[in-house]
Structure 1
Amino acid sequence: MAQRVRDVMTANPWAVGPDTPAHQVATIMRDESVKAVVVTDDGRLRGLVTDRDLTVRILADGGDVSARTVVEACGAELASVAPEDDVDRALTLMYAKELRHLPVIDNGRTVGIIALRDLGVEAGPGFGLDAPGVADSMA
């Protein structure tokens, strides 16, 4: 029987509201040793932000970052999986969309987060481009 997302996900991930200052999220990531935080609004998933998102979308812009909010760092496209999904589905989605983290949603609520490292997979150079079927779909 295939392994399910709920068997490998991190339950109850760190969650912040969309108006949370970006620097506060960076502090949570540093203090709690996490690389991704979900952004929720009244318990509903609004986005996911990673340490890289904060660097590329907030810090790289320069200027006064103290007034920037976490929602500004979230990616435009949001993908997710359900706790009962097969781990292979999560992995395929992560490779196809070049994601290292996916929120886990159950009945509209964020219940966990799954990372490539949870699956024992490393994202090396060319991440996503060497996944089965990905290179073919780009041709």
Structure 2
Amino acid sequence: MPEIRSIVRERVVTASPDTSLTELAERMEAEDVGSVVIVTDDRPQGIVTDRDITIETVSQGNDPSSVTAEDVMSDDLVTVDAESGIFDVLRAMEESNVRRIPATDSDGRLAGIVTFDDFVILLGRELRLLGDVVEAEIPPYEHT
């Protein structure tokens, strides 16, 4: 079974637990991402998404500069080993109802992140290759 190492994004936007939501939002905008992994000593502790920031500030009426990542990050962070199989990661995403999962190395340090979008792109590429194989094996279509 293919490992997620083939699609894991090694460049991950990170922050410390004491980072304000304002700063997190600025990082997300600058890096064009929808989440920031919260780390301590290179080990993932939680994740904050753009949705978390919106719900915590706008809907709750909080000042984003006074709320920190630790205040809103997921407490039950789901991680996977960077050597995990693709289907194991998809199963973990489904069971945990998450769209992003940090990948860790054998020492528990952040090795990357895998997102639902990465799987959609992978599936699209694989379907395109399958289509090419099928198309090469069938007679050409006659259009009238």
TM-score by length of 2: 0.78
Residues 1:114 and 2:114 aligned together: yes
Higher helix share: 2
Q: In the TM superposition, what is the alpha-carbon distance from 1:42 to its structure 2 partner?
A: 1.7
1:57 to 1:75, Cα distance in 2 relative to 1, 3 A: farther
Change (3 A) 1:59 1:70: farther
- 3-state SS of paired residue (2:38): strand
Does the 8 Å CA contact 2:17/2:38 hold for their aligned counterparts? Answer: yes
Separation in structure 1 between the aligned mates of residue 56 and residue 103 of structure 2, nearest angstrom: 24
Match of 1:74 in 2: 73
Q: Does structure 2 conserve the Cα–Cα contact (< 8 Å) formed by 1:14 and 1:38?
A: yes
Shift of 1:118: 0.4
Tell me the CA shift for residue 17 of structure 1: 0.5
1:58 and 1:72 in contact (8 A); partners too: no
SS in 2 for 1:65: coil
Q: Aligned letter for 2:117?
A: R
TM-score normalised by L of structure 1: 0.81
Cα RMSD (Å) of the superposition? 1.3
Matched with 1:98 is 97
Which structure 1 segments of 5+ residues have no match? 122-139
Residue matched to 1:65:
64
Please report how far the alpha carbon of residue 78 of structure 1 lies from its aligned counterpart in structure 2 after TM superposition: 1.1
SS in 2 for 1:63: coil
In 1, are the aligned partners of 2:44 and 2:109 still within 8 Å (CA)? yes
* % same residue: 30
Contact 2:100–2:113 (8 Å) recurs in 1? yes
Distance in 2 (CA, whole Å) between partners of 1:69 and 1:86 is 34
Q: Secondary structure at the match of 2:70?
A: helix
Greater C-alpha radius of gyration:
2
Q: Which structure 2 residue ranges, 5 or more long, are not aligned?
A: 122-144
